[in-house]
Amino acid sequence: MSVEALFLQFSADKLGEFNEQIEVCLGKLTFDQIWARGSQGENAIGNLVLHLTGNVRQWIVSSLGGHEWARDRDGEFSASGGLSAGELAAGLRGTVDEARDIIRGLDTERLLRTYDIQRFHSSGVEAVYHVVEHFAMHTGQIIFVTKSFTS
């Protein structure tokens, strides 16, 4: 297996693992817990799930995958309810599954190409790496808050 293939497979697998951890957390929480904010400056778990969905869709599905999509990043953080655990999980799962397929199918040319994403000029490698590390960070936050609600 090449280093490139190993990187792509590992990245796709990690996104799947993190997504599963978030789904477990969502399954343990009530609607009110999913949308609870500790203070005005904090994000609810629901906001973090919406944010991850938007981030993965923008960076991987739209940019690397070439699918048209307009992101409402501010809306991800301003939402204060409306979606259930199942709806949040389904939206994130669909996006992650689509992104994992795109990641697994990337070739050298697409990994080396420069993409303009948000305000950044990133190679395909950097975009994949950004998404996996960003997803890991927010997964940890979701796990921490879930433990505080359920312990």
**Domain count of the chain?**
1
Q: How confident is the model at residue 124 (pLDDT cuts 50, 70, 90)?
A: very high
CATH number at residue 135: 1.20.120.450
Predicted structure pTM score: 0.95
Residue 150 has pLDDT above 80, yes or no: yes
Distance in angstroms (rounded) separating the CA atoms of residues 71 and 37: 23
**3-28 and 124-150 are packed helices; what angle lies between their axes, rounded to 10 degrees?**
20
* Per-residue model confidence as pLDDT tens digits over 87-98: 999 999 999 999
Q: How confident is the model at residue 68 (pLDDT cuts 50, 70, 90)?
A: confident
Q: Which domain holds residue 36?
A: 3-150
Selection from 61-70, 73-82, 88-97 with the highest mean pLDDT:
88-97
User: Do residues 53 and 138 touch, judged by C-beta distance below 8 A?
Assistant: no
Q: What percent of the chain has pLDDT over 70?
A: 100
Tokens of 31: 């609607």
Distance in angstroms (rounded) separating the CA atoms of residues 116 and 20: 29
Specify the pLDDT at position 125: 98
